[in-house]
Amino acid sequence: MDKKALLTPRKTASQQRSRAMIEVLVEATARVLIKEGFDRANTNRIADEAGVSIGSLYQYFPSKEALVIAVIERHKSEMVDVLRGTLAKVAALPIDSAVRELVKTMIDAHRVNPDLHRVLVEETPRAGRIGTIDGFDREFYTLIRAYLELRKAELRPMDLDLAAYICVSSTEALTHGAVIDSPERLNDGNVQAFVNEVATLITRYLK
């Protein structure tokens, strides 16, 4: 079987029963990834976690990698959902306030199942394209780029494409590091200070 076939689900969720089975398998895969890590996860372990036969699993997914892709797509969708409506919320805000809201949004998005996020970011890249969750970053880039376009008269002269990239990359790196490696920085007593410092960094760069 070629690599593309191994990464593609066998069945689409056209019926309610199929959708339910796919959801069970994807959720079980996420739990196994969190508990076992990518390398130790396998289809037998996932089928056992889901409470289905290995044959039933293979009716829907040809490989562990195909299951992980489905997990990534669901996780990415959940993170993107956090972004929806943010541009409308910040469009009328001054730069200082808007950047603060965007930083908060990035934190909230990374708080969507942080244990799973860590596995997907730090372990699955070794499997090739299945390790990518860059769709979220593209969504965030589009959001930032649109806001910068609205406010470009208030910014110092700059390449807005490059500026959006730098804003997203910096915020992503700092937020990911805090959520995954230093969660104490984002507890109730510290999160506001973190937001303020990251927002100051981005705002001073833009102005």
Q: Which CATH class is domain 72-206?
A: mainly alpha
Instruction: Give the C-alpha distances (Å, rounded to integers) separating 21 from 11, 16, 42, 106, 115.
Output: 11, 9, 18, 31, 24
Express each pLDDT in 23-76 by its tens digit: 999 999 999 999 999 999 999 999 999 999 999 999 999 999 999 989 988 998
Highest mean pLDDT among 10-14, 16-20, 126-130: 16-20
Q: Which CATH class is domain 6-67?
A: mainly alpha
Domain layout of the chain by residue ranges: 6-67, 72-206
Please give the backbone phi and psi of residue 129, each rounded to the nearest 5 degrees, phi first.
-65, -20
Q: Is 72-206 in the same CATH topology as 6-67?
A: no
Q: Which helix or strand (DSSP H or E) is residue 87 part of?
A: helix 86-90
Residue 17: pLDDT above 80?
no
